[in-house]
């Protein structure tokens, strides 16, 4: 039996489509339905490795978690990871198939459309309800004939549609009226209402606006969703970094100040969501090297384009800043591409990321990396190789996360690895990462290493000890428990303002609670 389909479209990018889909998935799950998310084509540098080893957009993994189902590649058959202003790496059905410029990508549109429809049909055959997400605006007239993610997908899924507009950015009347005006009659017939998102202040003051919009659009308002501060749910892309960047204040002597280098191609900043939620920890993202002056811990994060980002690091003065941080004997961590940058050199003989064959690294770990053609995408668990080096002789925490990377990294003789790592589907552990003799400089390929409460406790205690910070007496906020609490809070926030009776009517099903 084919699933019922509801599609969330937006008047523009970043109006709240991803969060709305997540909220609807959690609400439908709470109401007893087997629900799954779907986005035909996603463009983002934040990605996730499924249990089967496929790469999908992080937003769809987050939405699947909200729905209470395992993330699967059929939820996001096409992922575009920008490699420049005009090109992207294309991930098709979870596997990288090459880098394409926009014109070249559009030339393969019949193939992409067939693939996304097949993925949707597989997904819809396994669930009762599918909540689809669009991208940007559905009425970009120069792109409609090449659309695989908005209205053409709504037609393929026979989905009822709702339109989300962001009132916080201004122009909500023009964006809603303009969007509906550009819809063809057959497209307009799919819509069952509109949603006004991110409202600040007294919602009652907008009641006249709702009446006027309903009259102009001949569509019901499904709700005016109040602005949600600090939702703590993983974001889709780097547009949210400035919102998340909390600069440390002077006088915060006991807080552990963690600075993440805001690389141009920063990937998977969702690695740090769990850190941001810990009491006594301040996480902030910095583009200028001077902003890292007061950092206790410096993190060089993952990168979609390690070599171009490494060139940027040296050109902008970040290389000098990172080396000075290590010389001052303050903790330094590199994750994935950041780990590669901390080594002696990065070589790219196949030109998979750039036109440069080799670039010197920051030289803080005695390792070297060679980029390969094949990408590693695997979930993994890991345990510390040398617990005593991190002050954890009496603990043996398990870390759970995933790998998404190009390249193999070789340690020089005598360099200690960070983890014994076991990839999903394998029995024998691998040695991962590197740690210097004092446990000050560390690198790993494991994304999500902060999402395990026991491991997070060890790492924070180690960093506090190195920085001479008072040990936090309070309990660690368990990232997995907190994630579920946040999804429930997101659903409750939407339930307060969303007319779910109309949503159920659009779906043609009955609420079970």
* Distance in angstroms (rounded) separating the CA atoms of residues 451 and 105: 35
Q: What is the dihedral of CA 351, 354, 360, 362, to 10 degrees?
A: -130
Identify how many contiguous H helices and E strands the chain contains and give both numbers. Answer: 16, 26
For this structure, is 447 an active site residue? yes
Residue 478, SS3 per DSSP: coil
Closest Cα partner for 106 from 146, 134, 66, 141? 146
- The residue from 100, 127, 447, 462 that is catalytic is 447
| 345-347 and 358-360 beta bridge pairing | antiparallel
Angle at 299 between CA 344 and CA 460, to 5 degrees: 120
* Distance in angstroms (rounded) separating the CA atoms of residues 469 and 282: 13
Beta bridge partners of 389: none
Contact 149, 23 (CB under 8 A): no
- The residue from 325, 336, 405, 462 that is catalytic is 336
CA atoms within 13 A on the CB side of 445: 28
Judged on CB neighbours under 10 Å (0-12, 13-18, 19+), 95 is: middle
* Distance in angstroms (rounded) separating the CA atoms of residues 393 and 399: 16
* Distance in angstroms (rounded) separating the CA atoms of residues 377 and 472: 35
From residue 12, how far is each of 27, 77, 136, 170, 498 by CA, in Å?
A: 24, 22, 5, 12, 20
Encoded tokens for 143? 């792109």
For this structure, is 336 an active site residue? yes
DSSP, residue by residue, 280-327: TEEEEEESSGGGGTT-SEEEE-EESSHHHHHHHHHHTTHHHHHHHHHH
- Centre a 10 Å sphere on the Cβ of residue 66 and count the other Cβ atoms it contains: 29
Contact 395, 461 (CB under 8 A): no
User: Annotated active-site positions, please?
Assistant: 336, 447
């Amino acid at each position: 039996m084919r699933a019922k389909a509801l599609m969330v479209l937006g008047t523009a990018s970043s109006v709240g489509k991803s969060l709305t889909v997540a909220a609807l998935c959690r609400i439908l799950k709470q109401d007893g339905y087997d629900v799954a998310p779907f986005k035909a084509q996603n463009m983002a540098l934040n990605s996730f490795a499924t249990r089967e080893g496929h790469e999908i957009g992080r937003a769809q993994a987050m939405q699947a978690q909200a729905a209470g189902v395992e993330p699967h590649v059929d939820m996001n058959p096409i992922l575009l990871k920008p490699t420049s202003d005009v090109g992207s790496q294309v991930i098709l059905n979870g596997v990288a198939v090459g880098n394409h410029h926009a014109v070249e990508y559009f030339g393969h549109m019949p193939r992409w459309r067939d693939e996304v429809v097949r993925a949707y049909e597989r997904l819809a055959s396994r669930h009762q309800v599918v909540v689809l997400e669009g991208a940007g605006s559905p009425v970009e007239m120069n792109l409609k004939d090449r659309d695989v993610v908005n209205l053409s997908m709504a037609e393929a899924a026979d989905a009822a549609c709702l339109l989300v507009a962001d009132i916080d950015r201004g122009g909500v009347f023009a964006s809603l009226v303009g969007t509906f005006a550009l819809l063809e009659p057959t497209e307009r017939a799919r819509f069952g209402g509109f949603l006004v998102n991110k409202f600040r202040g007294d919602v009652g003051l907008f009641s006249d606006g709702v009446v006027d919009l309903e009259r102009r659009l001949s569509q019901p308002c499904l709700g005016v969703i109040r602005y949600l501060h600090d939702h703590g749910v993983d974001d889709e892309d780097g547009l949210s970094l400035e919102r998340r960047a909390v600069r440390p204040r002077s006088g915060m002597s006991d807080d552990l100040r963690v600075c993440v280098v805001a690389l141009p191609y920063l990937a998977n900043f969702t690695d740090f969501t769990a850190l941001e939620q810990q009491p006594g920890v301040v996480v902030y993202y910095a583009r200028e090297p001077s902003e890292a002056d007061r950092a206790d811990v410096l993190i060089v994060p993952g990168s979609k384009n390690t070599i171009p980002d490494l060139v940027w690091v040296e050109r902008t003065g970040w290389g000098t800043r990172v080396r000075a941080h290590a010389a001052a004997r303050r903790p330094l961590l590199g994750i994935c591409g950041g780990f590669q940058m901390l080594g002696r050199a990065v070589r790219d003989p196949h030109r998979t990321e750039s036109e440069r064959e080799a670039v010197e690294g920051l030289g803080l770990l005695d390792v070297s990396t060679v980029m390969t053609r094949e990408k590693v995408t695997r979930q993994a668990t890991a345990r510390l190789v040398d617990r005593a080096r991190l002050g954890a002789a009496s603990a043996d925490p398990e870390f759970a996360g995933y790998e998404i990377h190009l390249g193999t990294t070789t340690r020089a003789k005598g360099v200690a690895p960070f983890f014994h790592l076991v990839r999903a589907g394998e029995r024998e552990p691998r040695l991962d990462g590197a740690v210097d003799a004092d446990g000050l400089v560390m690198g790993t390929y494991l994304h999500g290493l902060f999402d395990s409460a026991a491991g997070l406790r060890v790492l924070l205690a180690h960093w506090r000890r190195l920085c001479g910070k008072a040990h936090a007496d309070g309990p660690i906020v368990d990232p997995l428990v907190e994630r579920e609490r946040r999804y429930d809070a997101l659903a409750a926030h939407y339930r307060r303002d969303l007319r779910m009776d109309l949503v159920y009517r659009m779906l043609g099903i009955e609420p079970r609670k």
